[in-house]
């Protein structure tokens, strides 16, 4: 069939992509009103947003440092408004570990 | 006149098959064709993932919020933009119909298909009032026997004629080839006639239907 063209060519060439038109554009919400009345409603669920960023899996790290080390670490976290995991990462980054 | 929406709120009426058969037939004849696959099961996107060399372009990234802008963009670039809609009464469908220059409503010869098709026709008529323009539509019988019309088919056809509901004179017959295009992920030209029964008839049917569609679009 790929060789058969049935004279579509001339007819097909009459069909052109649409040109810019100045016909009035009806906004979507107007169309949605009509759709809602006829029972054509939104099927896409409203997604709940979350502020938590997707993260890699985590693991527990339980340590008992001397109290002076503990206090220094806490002061660092407070001063930089970081969580413990963020502070640990930051310190290791700085130390190039 | 390039946006052609294929819509019936009933599932399994033959929307994706009609879309793929018509779009690939037109593309094989040299037309520039894009399909927006709005069905969440993405049957046509999956088809495109196969080995077919048919030049039809498929876009499956369609949502309620971007369908309008996508249609406005594609219709300025392509000769035909087909919208394969999901088999539900959805906001996506009402937005697509508002941008369509022709709506094809495929139905099998069954009362449920016909009833839900009537729901789509009702929406089209309400949108026509709002838009103050005609949205031409045509019912298309799908999966009909090429030889003998069933009694139910005749009855439904008589009702359509009685209600002045426009329909395609050609049907999309029940043919193994129309399932094989999805299974083998090829177009009708690429299928192997020794593997698929009735392939020449299926190709002929597709061409006749495409021809009728072109005539509708040109006039």
Cβ of A29 under 8 Å from any chain B Cβ?
Answer: no
CB contact under 8 A, B75 and A18: yes
Confidence of residue A90 (pLDDT cuts 50, 70, 90): very high
Confidence of residue A4 (pLDDT cuts 50, 70, 90): low
Check: complex ipTM more than 0.90 = no
Instruction: Work out the angle between the directed axes of helices A28-37 and B111-131 (0-180°, nearest 10).
Output: 140
Chain A neighbors of B211, CB-CB under 8 A: 6, 8
Given a cut of 50, is residue A1 above it in pLDDT? no
* Cα B10 from Cα A87, distance rounded (Å): 57
B102 close to B81: Cβ distance less than 8 angstroms: no
Confidence of residue B84 (pLDDT cuts 50, 70, 90): very high
Q: What is the mean pLDDT of chain A?
A: 84
Q: Which of A40, A41, A42, A44 to mutate to test the interface with B (most CBs of B within 10 A)?
A: A40
Give the pLDDT confidence score for residue A9 in this predicted structure. 66
- Counting one residue from chain A and one from chain B, the pairs whose CB atoms sit within 8 A come to 111
Which DSSP helix (H) or strand (E) runs through A43? none
How far, CA to CA in Å, does B75 sit from each of B23, B61, B68, B83, B161?
15, 16, 11, 11, 32
Cβ of B214 under 8 Å from any chain A Cβ?
Answer: yes
Q: Which of B98, B101, B186, B217 to mutate to test the interface with A (most CBs of A within 10 A)?
A: B98
Cβ of A37 under 8 Å from any chain B Cβ?
Answer: yes
Given a cut of 90, is residue B106 above it in pLDDT? yes
Q: DSSP readout, B26-91?
A: HHHTT--EEEEE--TT-HHHHHHTSS-----EEE----TTTHHHHHHHHTTT-SEEEEE--SS-BH
Mean predicted confidence (pLDDT) in B6-30: 93
* Max mean pLDDT range (A47-61, B146-160, B192-206): B192-206
Give the pLDDT confidence score for residue B61 in this predicted structure. 94
Give the pLDDT confidence score for residue B218 in this predicted structure. 84
Give the pLDDT confidence score for residue A13 in this predicted structure. 80
How far, CA to CA in Å, does B2 sit from each of A17, A97, B177?
6, 61, 27
Rg (CA), chain B: 16
Confidence of residue A2 (pLDDT cuts 50, 70, 90): very low
* Cα B199 from Cα A17, distance rounded (Å): 32
Give the pLDDT confidence score for residue A48 in this predicted structure. 80
Nearest neighbour of A17 by CB, restricted to B28, B77, B90: B77
Confidence of residue A22 (pLDDT cuts 50, 70, 90): low
Mean predicted confidence (pLDDT) in B120-126: 90
Q: What token pair was written down for B73? A: 């963009």
Given a cut of 80, is residue B197 above it in pLDDT? yes
Look at residue B139 and give its three-state secondary structure.
strand
The Cα angle at residue B140 between residues B138 and B145, in degrees rounded to 5: 160
Give the pLDDT confidence score for residue B115 in this predicted structure. 87
* Cα B39 from Cα A35, distance rounded (Å): 18
- Within 10 angstroms of residue A43's Cβ, the number of other Cβ atoms is 14
Q: What is the mean pLDDT of chain B?
A: 91
pLDDT in tens, A35-82: 998 888 888 887 787 887 777 888 999 999 999 999 999 999 999 999
Give the pLDDT confidence score for residue A6 in this predicted structure. 59
């Amino acid at each position: 069939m790929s060789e058969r063209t049935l004279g579509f060519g001339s007819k097909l060439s009459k069909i052109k992509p649409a040109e810019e038109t100045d016909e009035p554009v009806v906004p979507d919400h107007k169309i949605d009103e009509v759709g809602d009345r006829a029972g054509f409603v939104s099927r896409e669920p409203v997604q709940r947003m979350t502020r938590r960023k997707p993260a890699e899996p985590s693991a527990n790290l339980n340590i008992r440092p001397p109290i002076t080390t503990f206090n220094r670490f806490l002061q660092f976290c407070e001063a930089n408004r970081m969580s413990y995991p963020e502070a640990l990462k930051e310190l290791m980054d700085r130390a190039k570990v | 006149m390039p946006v052609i929406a294929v819509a019936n709120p009933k599932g399994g009426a033959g929307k994706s098959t009609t879309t793929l058969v018509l779009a690939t037939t037109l593309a094989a004849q040299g037309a520039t064709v894009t399909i927006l696959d709005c069905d969440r099961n993405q049957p046509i996107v999956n088809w495109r993932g196969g080995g077919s060399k048919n030049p039809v372009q498929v876009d499956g990234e369609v949502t309620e919020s971007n369908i309008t802008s996508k249609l406005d963009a594609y219709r300025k670039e392509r000769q035909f933009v087909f919208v394969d809609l999901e088999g539900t009464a959805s906001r996506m469908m009402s937005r697509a119909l508002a941008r369509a220059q022709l709506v094809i409503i495929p139905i099998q010869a069954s009362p449920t298909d016909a009833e839900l098709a009537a729901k789509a026709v009702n929406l089209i008529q309400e949108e026509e009032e709002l838009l103050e323009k005609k949205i031409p539509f045509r019912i298309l019988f799908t999966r009909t026997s090429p030889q003998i019309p069933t009694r139910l088919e005749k009855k439904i056809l008589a009702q359509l004629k009685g209600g002045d509901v426009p329909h395609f004179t050609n049907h999309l017959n029940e043919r193994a080839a129309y399932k094989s295009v999805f299974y083998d992920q090829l177009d009708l030209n690429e299928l192997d006639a020794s593997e698929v029964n009735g392939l020449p008839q299926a190709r002929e049917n597709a061409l006749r239907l495409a021809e009728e569609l072109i005539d509708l679009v040109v006039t």
